[in-house]
Amino acid sequence: MVDGDAAFVIGMLMLVGLRMFLHGIKRHKEKQHILNTPTSKVQSAAIGFGEVSGKAEPIEIMESVMEKKPAITHKWILERWEKRGKHSTWVKIAENDVRKQFFVNDGTGRLLVDAYGANIEIPKDKGWVGSYSSAPPNLKQFFDSNKISTKGWIFEHKMQFQEWFLSPGDNIYAIGTIQDRPGEYAKGSENLIMTENKGQGAKMFYISDKNEKEVLDKYYKFVGLEVAGGIALFGISFFLTLLRFRML
């Protein structure tokens, strides 16, 4: 391996290790917030940092692209398979992420949630890979109405479409900052709103369709390994750097 290639590989290892470490630390802090914050009944929700769980009740409804299902949050990504130098890769050509306000109802009351700015972790609902001619009718209509080109010079491009959405009636776990709701509304929990908090000392704002235990098991189980892996990669790359410059 020539010096330039070696330096590039070492630099990439160092950057990946540092990124893993910082991301792992962030996720570890979030995990501690989840563990240390008791789930409140909506009727007992108070101003401050808190978490609730219940069923999603819509205020406005959108439609998913591929199956036209009702949605209250909707994210999609469209990618095209392109050759880049000696390799081919998926290249993002369009995306959209729309979040509507909705209520969380746990049977004791309803809490308004403004999902803007939240980290929404839900499994992918639908995915498709292929050319325009093989796309399902709803997806073809989506391409046409949005004037998305799927044709190359000669052949059709290989495309990949993915979408994620929350639907009315989905289970909701939400943790974030609860504040007074602007305006005058019915007394109790409907006077409050969970929303993004950008102020000093702001904690996390997180929404999932899993319960708390499932969230911890699925998304936060390996944060310790991520931190340790980041430290290990950074340490190895630092050691290789010292060797390269004959400082050991």
- Model-level pTM? 0.82
CA distance 97 to 49: 25
Contacts of 62 by beta carbon, 8 Å cutoff, 6+ apart: 70, 71, 72, 74, 98, 100, 165
The region that residue 201 occupies, defined by phi over 0 for left and psi between -120 and 50 for alpha, beta otherwise, is: left
Q: Are 143 and 150 in contact (CB under 8 A)?
A: yes
pLDDT at residue 127 in the model: 93
CA-nearest of 164, 159, 149 to 92 is 159
pLDDT at residue 2 in the model: 42
pLDDT at residue 200 in the model: 60
26 CB neighbour count, 10 Å cutoff: 14
Contacts of 34 by beta carbon, 8 Å cutoff, 6+ apart: 51, 175, 206, 212, 215, 216, 220
pLDDT at residue 1 in the model: 45
Segments of the chain with pLDDT less than 50: 1-2
Q: Are 198 and 116 in contact (CB under 8 A)?
A: no
pLDDT at residue 189 in the model: 65
N residues, the chain: 248
